[in-house]
Chain A
Amino acid sequence: MKTIRRYILLATTVGMLGACSYDNYDAPESKLEGNLVYQGTPLNLDPRNVYMELWEPGWAKKSKIDIHVDQNGRFSAVLFNGNYKLFIRRNSVPFMAPHNEQTNSDTILVEVRGNKKMDIDVTPYYLIRNASITNSGKTVDATFGIEKIITDANQKDVERVTLYINKVNLVSADTKIGEASLNGGDIADPNAISLTTQIPEMTPAQPYVYARVGVKLAGVDYLIYSPIQKIDF
């Protein structure tokens, strides 16, 4: 018994002394955060689907880090220090990254050395202006205008505008309990659009909902929205 105990003690000691610290990296601890902004104002985006790609060149394997952008245009990521390239895929998002002088493309160079705050300037195809969402009882009315920001060859057409409402303050084409739409071709005056919908029954019942309006563009997957508003009824 005593021998066994001695062996165990010996083995443990040898194990602990011999165990290596080689392949244990420190966790990343530099925080990169900021907003996607247009003229200093953060964009209101889809809560689930907007991602930026962060690539760190120089490694044998290429693999991107997806950085999620939330519905208020905010992003954050904890990274290792290094020189990264940031890239936003064009086709699915309702905005474009502008031409970058340093890379002569729409790729942005990001140097991470410790915590860093940076806002990224992008240009949306459209913006929603003067959105006002009001209610009388369970009827929700939205009036707003849409402004075309990109008018050159990259311009997009409006497929539809939609008013969404949801139980919680995540409101989008994916997460909604009610909606009302108007097709792009039926918009008479882009500066004065109004949409109306009813708040459906909710289980459990609650006396408030959240609402916002969005613009769906032809050839773009995700919408651009107005700020989220809480509606008490």
Chain B
Amino acid sequence: MKKILIITFILSLMVSVSCDDEAFLSKQPNDLLNDEQVWKNRDLVILALGDLYNRFPDYQTVEEWREFANFDEAFASRDYGRHQNNDWGFGDWGYWDYSYIRALNSFIKRCGEATTLLEEDRQAFLAEARVLRAAVYFEEVKRMGGVPLILEPLTYDYSGDPTYLQFPRAKESDVYDFVIRELTDVQDKLVDPNVGGGRIYSRATKGLVLAMKARAALYAASIARYNATTPSVITAGGEVGIPAGMAQGYYETALAAAQELIGKGWYSLYQKNSDLRQNFADLFLDKSNNPEVIFVEDFKLKDKAHGFTTNNQPIDQTEEPGDSGWLNPTLNLVQSFEKLDNTFAPLEIGTPGNYVYYDNITDLYEDRDARLWGTVMLPGTQFKGRVVDIWAGYILEDNSIITSGALGGQATLPGRSAPEQVVGKNGPIDQVEKSAQTGYYIRKFLDPAIGSGQRGIGSAVWWVRYRYAEVLLNAAEAAFELGQPDVAAGYMNEVRRRAGFTIDLTPGDITFDRIVHERKVELAFEGHQLWDMKRWRLAHRVWDGQNVGLTTTPGKADASSTKPYGLWPYKVYDPGNANDGKWIFKVVVPGKATGVDRFRLRNYYSEINSDILSRNPKLVQNP
């Protein structure tokens, strides 16, 4: 009884003193900042802006390297499923990020009202956020076609009727127009890229605005021009499809924007290293005073590093035994790099039984574009000061092969007594994960710094979103389409000289195929391929679902390329014969690459998923 009394007393005491509702419920959170607090303080605004930069959309990047294996640039040495499907899903690479757009709109609205900030800061922040918003709408229209253009933060009033929040899709051309107009508008409010002696790479500058404008206008122009080849990819309301008559105007905008940027003289092609092959690899690694790079997602060790090098380094010198060798560039890409005499040809390997013999393993590529060496890690070249050991085995005089099923494995050659290494330490061995199953590893963006291959450290190589060479190629393409092949040739040659070409292209040499090809090799593994193939309406012709073998005309824009191919080097073992110790090469298809890529017409614009359609009945589905 006594106990009960005591308990009751304690309980009533607790209840009576426990709540002061007024004070408790109106307590300010001490782990969150509200809008008013943020907009009083410049540093906090920069933090908010940093978050917006962080959400910038990309498809293939050094963090999303897996996506590079979706098409024909690379074979995934570990994720074979990517090469066993024939089709891409209709919703693939879809993008519908209105929460990001809302955050941007709300930032822009608040920033407009933030009178406590310095006027100069306020204008700069506002302009940066508007560039980001333009970039997001560019990304939306690239992937989905026209989307609702929402430029105000929308708020639901809980009335039960959301119809006032439902907007129809804008025309595809309207979204491109908005992007171009918005970029033109904010250009003067942004800083020069080399303000204050340093260089700005990871924030919006006048340089980025011009580069983005050129790219957006060029995309719109080529859709207007080439959509005629896919007449069914169109909606009645213009949400998808731009009338052919608008092509001219967009090409002019693209050329003007690119030329304005070129004329400013802020940027130039990266040419610090006289070894052009190494120079092209350095271009992506050099973060100090890089004159070519315009806009990046930057990384910093300890704070924000990525695993591109960890996952793609050669397996024999991996710093992280579980990861490596993920991306294997394909022969499809490798053979696309031109010979230095400006001609296209498959690699000269002869035919089975009648091989072409090479003294050194790298001789096969000696007469090719320097960019090949900077993009792809060729067998026998160096990485981190060590030779990249890729060769598939010995070939004997009767064309029989001696090899091993283990990386760097050993066997005894005829006439020898001791076993010796008969296959490269990186393979290639078919279906051995992380080996160079196509005979190649990737070099572009691969970090040679010690420790970059460890999960715990990672790489701080930046992801280049815009760079000057692309601006030159954009200008060249726009000029070509406007019937100015001499102007186009000038820009093309500038890019090509840096790649080691000594013979300039003449205006008569510039063709559509040339333009397509130049972008393919210059911008490989930089996240351009899919969007380029889409806007030229080439995707369904190149990835056409036909298994017709590796093309023999690598310079042809619409040559079918539906499977990843590889090229394996073999060492000749034929003592006493002149060819002993030389190298021959064989074309292979990785055994796990069973699919044949087919890009369907509905893939040109990603399907809007039914959830989004249910929420907003004013939206129309893509064709």
Chain A residues with CB under 8 Å of chain B are 49, 60-64, 89-92, 173-174, 179, 181, 219-221
Closest CB-CB distance, B235 to chain A, in whole Å?
11
Cα A173 to Cα B595 with chains together (Å)? 12
Cα A195 to Cα B318 with chains together (Å)? 52
Q: Is B26 an interface residue (CB 8 A)?
A: no
Q: Which of B158-166, B225-233, B395-403 contacts A (4 or more CB under 8 A)?
A: B225-233
Closest CB-CB distance, B570 to chain A, in whole Å?
25
B600 touches A64 (CB 8 A): no
Contact with A along B593-623 (1 / 0, CB 8 A): 0001010111000000011011001000001
Q: Which of A49, A179, A221 is in CB contact (< 8 Å) with B601?
A: A221
Chain B residues with CB under 8 Å of chain A are 86-87, 230-233, 540, 545-547, 596, 598, 600-602, 610-611, 613-614, 617, 623
Please name 14 further chain A to chain B contacts, defined as beta carbons within 8 Å, in addition to the given A91-B601, A179-B547, A181-B546, sorted by A numbering.
A49-B87, A60-B614, A61-B610, A61-B611, A63-B614, A91-B602, A91-B623, A173-B598, A174-B598, A219-B230, A219-B232, A219-B601, A220-B232, A221-B602
Q: Which residues of A contact B230 (CB under 8 A)?
A: 219
Cα A39 to Cα B545 with chains together (Å)? 31
Q: Which residues of A contact B613 (CB under 8 A)?
A: 62
Q: Which residues of B contact A49 (CB under 8 A)?
A: 87
Cα A61 to Cα B232 with chains together (Å)? 28
Take A174-B86, A219-B232 as given contacts and tell me if A92 and B610 are in contact as well, using a CB distance cutoff of 8 Å.
Answer: no
Cα A219 to Cα B232 with chains together (Å)? 7
Q: Which residues of B contact A219 (CB under 8 A)?
A: 230-232, 601
Closest CB-CB distance, B445 to chain A, in whole Å?
35
Cα A64 to Cα B546 with chains together (Å)? 31
Cα A89 to Cα B233 with chains together (Å)? 12
**Chain B contact surface mostly:** loop
A62 touches B610 (CB 8 A): yes
B610 touches A63 (CB 8 A): yes
Q: Which residues of B contact A179 (CB under 8 A)?
A: 547
Closest CB-CB distance, A218 to chain B, in whole Å?
9
Take A173-B545, A174-B86, A219-B601 as given contacts and tell me if A91 and B233 are in contact as well, using a CB distance cutoff of 8 Å.
Answer: yes
Cα A63 to Cα B613 with chains together (Å)? 9
Q: Which residues of B contact A92 (CB under 8 A)?
A: 600-602
Q: Which residues of A contact B602 (CB under 8 A)?
A: 89, 91-92, 221
Cα A90 to Cα B596 with chains together (Å)? 24
- B234: nearest chain-A partner, CB-CB: A91
A64 touches B86 (CB 8 A): no
Cα A179 to Cα B614 with chains together (Å)? 43
Cα A8 to Cα B148 with chains together (Å)? 59
Q: Which of B600, B610, B611 is in CB contact (< 8 Å) with A221?
A: B600
Take A90-B232, A91-B623 as given contacts and tell me if A62 and B614 are in contact as well, using a CB distance cutoff of 8 Å.
Answer: yes
Q: Can you list 23 A-B contacts with CB-CB less than 8 angstroms, sorted by A residue number?
A: A60-B614, A61-B611, A62-B613, A62-B614, A62-B617, A63-B610, A89-B602, A90-B232, A91-B232, A91-B601, A91-B623, A92-B600, A173-B545, A173-B546, A173-B598, A174-B596, A174-B598, A179-B547, A181-B546, A219-B231, A219-B601, A220-B232, A220-B601
Closest CB-CB distance, B402 to chain A, in whole Å?
25
Q: Which residues of B contact A221 (CB under 8 A)?
A: 540, 598, 600-602
Q: Which residues of A contact B231 (CB under 8 A)?
A: 219
Q: Which residues of A contact B617 (CB under 8 A)?
A: 62
Q: Which residues of B contact A174 (CB under 8 A)?
A: 86, 545, 596, 598
Q: Which residues of B contact A181 (CB under 8 A)?
A: 546
Closest CB-CB distance, B464 to chain A, in whole Å?
35
Closest CB-CB distance, A164 to chain B, in whole Å?
11
- B599: nearest chain-A partner, CB-CB: A221
Cα A60 to Cα B232 with chains together (Å)? 31
Cα A219 to Cα B601 with chains together (Å)? 7
Q: Which residues of A contact B86 (CB under 8 A)?
A: 174
Cα A15 to Cα B603 with chains together (Å)? 51
Cα A62 to Cα B600 with chains together (Å)? 24
Closest CB-CB distance, B350 to chain A, in whole Å?
25
Closest 7 A-B residue pairs measured CB to CB?
A: A62-B614, A221-B600, A91-B232, A61-B614, A63-B610, A91-B601, A219-B232
Closest CB-CB distance, A101 to chain B, in whole Å?
21
Cα A90 to Cα B613 with chains together (Å)? 20
Cα A177 to Cα B47 with chains together (Å)? 59
Q: Which residues of A contact B547 (CB under 8 A)?
A: 179
Closest CB-CB distance, A159 to chain B, in whole Å?
9
Cα A64 to Cα B87 with chains together (Å)? 21
Cα A63 to Cα B614 with chains together (Å)? 8
- A64: nearest chain-B partner, CB-CB: B610
Q: Which residues of B contact A64 (CB under 8 A)?
A: 610
- A59: nearest chain-B partner, CB-CB: B614
Cα A220 to Cα B598 with chains together (Å)? 12
Q: Which residues of A contact B540 (CB under 8 A)?
A: 221
Cα A90 to Cα B600 with chains together (Å)? 13
Q: Which residues of B contact A220 (CB under 8 A)?
A: 232, 601
Q: Which residues of A contact B233 (CB under 8 A)?
A: 91
Closest CB-CB distance, B407 to chain A, in whole Å?
28
Closest CB-CB distance, A167 to chain B, in whole Å?
15
Closest CB-CB distance, B230 to chain A, in whole Å?
6
Cα A100 to Cα B176 with chains together (Å)? 37
Closest CB-CB distance, A97 to chain B, in whole Å?
15
Cα A31 to Cα B232 with chains together (Å)? 33
Cα A164 to Cα B546 with chains together (Å)? 12
Q: Which residues of B contact A173 (CB under 8 A)?
A: 545-546, 598
Cα A91 to Cα B231 with chains together (Å)? 10
Cα A63 to Cα B621 with chains together (Å)? 12
Closest CB-CB distance, A151 to chain B, in whole Å?
17
Q: Which residues of A contact B623 (CB under 8 A)?
A: 91
Closest CB-CB distance, B500 to chain A, in whole Å?
38
Closest CB-CB distance, B221 to chain A, in whole Å?
22
- A63: nearest chain-B partner, CB-CB: B610
Q: Which residues of A contact B232 (CB under 8 A)?
A: 90-91, 219-220
Q: Which residues of B contact A90 (CB under 8 A)?
A: 232
Cα A174 to Cα B86 with chains together (Å)? 8
Cα A18 to Cα B540 with chains together (Å)? 59
- B623: nearest chain-A partner, CB-CB: A91
Closest CB-CB distance, A63 to chain B, in whole Å?
5
Q: Which residues of B contact A60 (CB under 8 A)?
A: 614
Closest CB-CB distance, B528 to chain A, in whole Å?
25
Q: Which residues of A contact B601 (CB under 8 A)?
A: 91-92, 219-221
Cα A221 to Cα B611 with chains together (Å)? 26
Cα A90 to Cα B87 with chains together (Å)? 18
Cα A90 to Cα B622 with chains together (Å)? 12
Closest CB-CB distance, A142 to chain B, in whole Å?
18
Cα A205 to Cα B611 with chains together (Å)? 49
Cα A60 to Cα B615 with chains together (Å)? 9
Q: Which residues of B contact A91 (CB under 8 A)?
A: 232-233, 601-602, 623
Cα A62 to Cα B86 with chains together (Å)? 29
Q: Which residues of A contact B546 (CB under 8 A)?
A: 173, 181
Q: Which residues of B contact A63 (CB under 8 A)?
A: 610, 614
Cα A127 to Cα B97 with chains together (Å)? 44
Cα A174 to Cα B600 with chains together (Å)? 13
Closest CB-CB distance, B266 to chain A, in whole Å?
44
- B232: nearest chain-A partner, CB-CB: A91
Closest CB-CB distance, B619 to chain A, in whole Å?
10
Cα A174 to Cα B613 with chains together (Å)? 31
Closest CB-CB distance, A160 to chain B, in whole Å?
9
Closest CB-CB distance, A173 to chain B, in whole Å?
6
